Every structure is written in structure tokens, then in C-alpha cells.
Structure 1
Amino acid sequence: MTTSRRATLGRVLLGALGMALSGLPTRAQGDFPTRPVRLVSGFAPGGGTDILGRLVAQRFGEIWRGSMIVENRSGASGVVGATFVARAPTDGYTLLLMPNSQTITQHVQRNSGFDVQRDLAPVGMIATSPLVLSVHASLPIRSVAELVAYDRANPGRLHHGSAGTATAPHLAGELFNITAGTGMEHVPYRGSGPAVTAHVANEVGVAFGPLNSIEGFVRDGQLRILAVLGASRYEGLPDVPTMAESGYPGYEVDLWYALLAPSGTPVPIIQRLNADLNRVLTDPTMRAAMVQRGFIPAPGTPEALGAVIAADLARWKTVTDRVEIRLD
């Protein structure tokens, strides 16, 4: 072989090697995930966060031809699970399913060392879910006005339960106490599941919580819905009024769920997760399954989710300061 031919062959081989090496990261990203992904919920099984997580995980597994495993790490109103994810490797294999209660607990958790914006990276919004005011069916209460009148006539008798101190349902109840002048005492539980169990057993006669957690018990006649807490009526409950329509204009509490990763997760992985999440949420079969369970799919961008989190942080700080709730 001549020197010229050897040089030419050398250049060809070097070029081929360079192309192969440069393609490795792209293929690695394109093959993500190559092992099971953990989807962490900071609340006990059986509640709205858990129900949504298992729906989403199943569809992700189908798209990836792999698996997404829901892992419940409850405690401290979701802070235990969120902190676990924040400290996980930044490789996309440990994710957090976060309800907007995490933007509340940040203001009230003493010495948690956890910051939603600093420690977690937004992937995308998953869904919104109507919050409702419900009472046990044994109570002689069929409207918000009757609830207020009953509480004033029976001081100390009514309690409202929630998925934990400083969660959105808890704050919704405390805000109602302030707005309506009621004095219902709060009883916290370790997630929506235990809170609903207590509500159905009439351990707590009143609850401000996700529709998806109680709709079966409403159909069975064990619980009664008095009002929707959002700005407008929910299409699945066309005859149920909003709080504003019930005499309390300006009262509005929303519930949303989002997907987040540990801060520092590479942008290409965030983008891949967001694209696959939106694919999950726009699938007609998945959408129907979510709506049936009381969730409204809310596909979007990481940037849009970041803006929502920032707005909620500002909003809930005002509320928690006014109610003076603190977690030790």
C-alpha cells in the first residue's frame, strides 16, 4: 500500500471513528430510559396524587416499552417525598409527582432546607382537578349557607379533614373559616386516602378536597358535595354551585399536579420527558381515563410550569402568613 493510500485510509477511519463517538450521546439520549424510572409521590396510596401517578406511569411504560414505578414516600405534607427526589441523581430516573401543596409547605415548614425552585426542575404540568366542599351525608346540611348556620349553632362540633397540614385542602378550609366566620377545627391525615376514609366514617364531618378522591362515595350516597372551590362550575357537576355563587365571591382554591426532576437534570433529558409527558396527556384514551377520574389533562412546557410555581409561591405566602400556619 502506498503512503498516499495509507494516509487516505487513515483519514477515512478517523472520520468514521469521530462520527461514531459523536453519535453516542445522541443515541444514549434517544434510548432513554434503559431501566425503570421511579415516580415518587409524597403522599400515601389511595389519594388523588397516587391515582393520577398510577395512570400516568402505566401510559409512560407503554410508550417506553419499559416501566415507570410509583413509589409512595409520605410524610411532612409531601416534603419527605420531594426532598428525596431533590437529592436523587440528576439522570432522569427519579421524578416527583407534585401537587401544588408543595408551594404551600415551603412557607410553613421550619428548617426543612427544601426549596421548590432551587431543588427541583420543572418538567411539565400534568393535570388540574376540581376541589370541592363536601359533608357527611348524615349531617342535615345541603348548602354552604346551611353549613355556616350549623357550625354557628353547634360550636366545636364540626371538624374538617385534609391530606396534611398546609396542603391545599387544609388551606382551603382555613380560608373558609376566615371568609365565612366559621370555627371548624382542622384534622390532618397522611394523604388524601386516609383523609377520605375518615370523612366517610364521619370522623370528620367536613372536607375540602379533590373530587377524584370522593366521587365514588358521593355516588353511593355516603358523602354530599356542597360547592366547587374553583372560579367556575365543573362540567362533571353542572348542578353544583361555586363558592362565589354560594355567597362568597373571591373565594377560589385550585388544585394542580406536575412532574418535576432533581435540579441539575440535563436539559435534553428534561425536554425528552416533557415531550413524552405531553404525548401521554394528549392520547385520547388516556385523556378519557383521566377525565373519568376527575382530572383535566394540562399539557405544556417546563417554562410554563415554572411560571405557575412562581405565581403560586407568591399567592400562598400571603394566605399562610394570614392564617399563621407553621410546621415544626
Structure 2
Amino acid sequence: MTNGLRLPHQDEGTHGVIRRGTHRPARDFGPDAPPQRYPDPDIIVIDPKRFRAKVGNTAIKRLYTGCLWAEGPAWNAQGQYLVWSDIPNNRQLRYLEDGAGYISEDFRKPTNEANGNTFDFQGRQITCERTRVVRFEHNGTATVLADQANGKPLNGPNDVVVHPNDGSIWFTDPGYGAIVLYEGQRSPNGSVQPYQKESVYRVDARTGEIRKVADEPFKPNGIAFSPDYSKVYICDSGITHYPQARNVVWQYDLDGDKLSNPRPLIDMAMGDRSGFPDGLRVDTEGNIWVGAGWVGEGYDGVQVFAPDDGQRIGQICLPECCANLCFGGKKRNRLFMTASQSLYAVYVETQGAHNC
């Protein structure tokens, strides 16, 4: 389907500041919408020398709508399916890439208000639930990987990745119960989390030890490794609670089981507007794809940044805030995006650096 046809920069904006509403009507993403003219105008090439992932003969597709808040897409390569969470509806859905695109709306229900997901290198699903991180074994049982740290309950695990060398599980714990209770819980005395400093943790696959590895972000959200696992990227969505926070993506150096040299790599500001980064993934060239939103038309969707200097090089505009994303499909070249109420997908001329 993606035969490599690319039109390098037919519709670029200036540094990603775009245009909708000034010369074309709002786009219909519904199932009965008319065909989209190629190249898709909502895939924006900002730097054609560094963003080469736009395919000229493909279009953004809405695969499903009906969620209250869609989150945590993860691709299972063995089963060739996508899992994602609908947090308020306390369910997980599954999309089968079998030609018909069958969707199971209650793949798992209830889910303890599940959020982020991934699959380990044995094909087992790992999920950040409201109060804990769990792994679903092949026999259907659930193993609790973490439900507390530092002698206190977790705030509300959000996103999770697995390291291939040692099988360690890395997850973020920002907690968002102060905004909406379904992303956290009240303690017995009625207070609202966070119960402890929002942090990033590592679970040792052999011993089960849970250790804090970073707490520089005000609210660490999405997490991803670089292609060679030498860097870790962490979204900071702390502006939801802390006035002094900034909408940035942090970069860390990774050496074994330790993180060092924390520094903001990406600033989400676009002109005079800035939305907070939620989830992120990395492609084989090292580019960082960030789900972003809460700004409005021309900003919300996916923004792509270069790994060397953190500059914005591309953009995918969606009609909804984009919470998270992942690469999947048989060639790992289909980008799935969970955006508020809907699931979107588009083929790209690159591949995800990791399995999900």
C-alpha cells in the first residue's frame, strides 16, 4: 500500500504553524466521508531534509470512535493486533489487522481503569492500571509487577516500556486523580494523590526490585527508548498542576540500569502556543514522535522532532487531542494514534524502532 511515493514538501507550513480554516473546510473523517485527495494535507513536512516519512499516496484514517478517553496503544507482533485503553469506560479494545479491521470493543473489561500498555519480548501484555503495573501471562493470569514504591502507594502509573537486554520494566508514575478520579484514587483520609513525588521507576525482571530512576519531570508521562537504547525520552505534562512547569520532553543518557545527564531536549512551543506532550515513540532513524494537544486546530495531533537538536521537523494534524501512539502493522510502518474519542492510523515511510 505504501509504495514509496513521496512528495517532499508540497504543503509545508512555516515551522509547523498551519493554516486550516483559511482556505479549506473542516475535514470529514467519518466512514462515509469522500475520498481524501493525495497527498494528505494534514501530514505536514516542516523540514524535508530530515522528515522523509510522508507517503504521497496514503491518507489518515479514523478506524474507530466512541471512546471517552483513548490511551495507551500497543502493537502485538505475534498476534498482529493493536490493544488500547478507554480509561473512563474501564475497558480495553483490540483492533485486528486482518483486512476487515475487526474491532473487539470489550477485549478486557473491567480493567482497573487501565492506561498505558506495552508487550514484552515474550509477547505478554504489560499494563499501567489505576493503582498498579500488571503483566498478563500466557495462561490468562495477571502478575502484579508494582503497586507501591518507597513504602507508599503508586500515584497512578501511566506509560511503560521494556528493555530487551535484561527484561527490565520502566514506567512513569505521574498520578492524575486530582483532575479526574478515574486516573487515580482517593486515600482513606480523603486526600487526593500524588501520594509521593512523581517519578520514573525501573522494575528488575529477575529480583522484582522497584527503584526510582528519575524525578526531574514535574509529571513524567510518556516514555520511550532511543533505537540503540542509549537514551531515554520522557514527556513532562506537569503544567496541568505546576505553574512553573514547562511543556518539554526530557532526554536522559542510559548506562546499564541508571539514567544520567537529564536535560530538556524538546520544547513543545509552536509560535505563541504550547500544548503538553503526552505519549511518544521513536522511529528507526531516531526521530521522536510525540502525541500532543489541548491547544486546538493546527496543533493537536502528532509532532515529530529530530533527535540531535530537538527541532520540530514534521506534524500530523488531527481533529482531536492525541494522547499516545505506536508503530505497528506487518512492516511496523503504520502509525496508530489514540486521540480523545477515536483511533486513527496512517502509513509512513519509516518503521518503529521497537516492537510496540
TM-score by length of 1: 0.26
Between Structure 1 and Structure 2, the one with more helix by share is: 1
- Say which structure is richer in strand: 2
